[in-house]
């Protein structure tokens, strides 16, 4: 597989639920709200080891995750200061001989807004969620996008924009998904913010 910078997603300020979800589901260093964060996904997966080495040696950042799959490798780093995270990202891009514009442009594969969620469906989703419980009669928004890691940025932007609950973030694999719950008007606002942030990002077309 030829090299590909699939995801390069900088988050200026992690929101409380987004940070808590990363902390609860990742094996590495625990981030907290207000920190800056960077997700880098590459193909082939083994290339992420060199990417991590460069990033961690270049700046005072800490990794929450380094995930290697058959096709892709994903690294997350974070810091209390934006400058350190940006410096780590710049070092990786310089090593790769790439710019931020060389990343793959995120593509929203599908969105679904479900109002007045049935109690049985809420219980099924709660069986495997790792975030906040989805309650019956709430509204639910599901976003599917690729590359997968971009959904972490979408979840953070959704939380910035509205008073919602992050039910689940799945940012690994060929497609990523976020599940958001809450009042219908708030979930609608969250959906619009999440989609807009992905559609506005620059990069190479998939």
**67: helix, coil or strand?**
strand
Which pLDDT value is given to residue 206? Answer: 87
How far is it, in rounded angstroms, from Cα 9 to Cα 172? 14
- Give the domains, in start order, of the chain with CATH numbers: 4-102 (3.30.70.1710), 107-199 (3.30.70.1710)
How far is it, in rounded angstroms, from Cα 102 to Cα 65? 23
**pTM for this entry:** 0.95
Mean pLDDT of the chain: 97
How far is it, in rounded angstroms, from Cα 140 to Cα 116? 8
116: left (phi over 0), alpha (psi -120 to 50) or beta: left
How far is it, in rounded angstroms, from Cα 137 to Cα 130? 20
- Above 60 in pLDDT, residue 1? no
How far is it, in rounded angstroms, from Cα 203 to Cα 206? 9
pLDDT digits (tens, 9 = 90+) for 46-77: 999 999 999 999 999 999 999 998 899 999 99
pLDDT digits (tens, 9 = 90+) for 78-128: 999 999 999 999 999 999 999 999 999 999 999 999 999 999 999 999 999
How far is it, in rounded angstroms, from Cα 113 to Cα 141? 5
């Amino acid at each position: 597989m030829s090299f590909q910078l699939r995801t390069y997603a900088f988050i200026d300020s992690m929101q409380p639920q987004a940070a808590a979800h990363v902390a609860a589901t990742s094996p590495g260093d625990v981030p907290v709200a207000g920190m800056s964060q960077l997700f880098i996904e590459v193909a082939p997966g083994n290339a992420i080891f060199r990417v991590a080495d460069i990033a961690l040696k270049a700046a005072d950042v800490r990794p929450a995750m380094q995930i290697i799959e058959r096709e892709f490798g994903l690294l997350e780093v974070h810091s209390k200061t934006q400058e350190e995270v940006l410096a780590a990202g710049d070092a990786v891009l310089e090593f790769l001989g790439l710019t931020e514009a060389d990343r793959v442009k995120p593509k929203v594969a599908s969105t679904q807004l479900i109002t007045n969620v049935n109690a049985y469906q809420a219980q099924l989703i709660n069986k495997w969620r790792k975030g906040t419980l989805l309650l019956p009669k709430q509204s639910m928004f599901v976003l599917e996008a690729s590359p997968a890691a971009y959904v972490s940025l979408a979840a953070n932007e959704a939380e910035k924009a509205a008073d919602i609950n992050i039910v689940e973030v799945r940012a690994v694999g060929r497609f990523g998904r976020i599940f958001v719950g809450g009042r219908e008007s708030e979930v609608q606002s969250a959906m619009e913010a999440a989609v807009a942030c992905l559609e506005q990002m620059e990069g190479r077309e998939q």
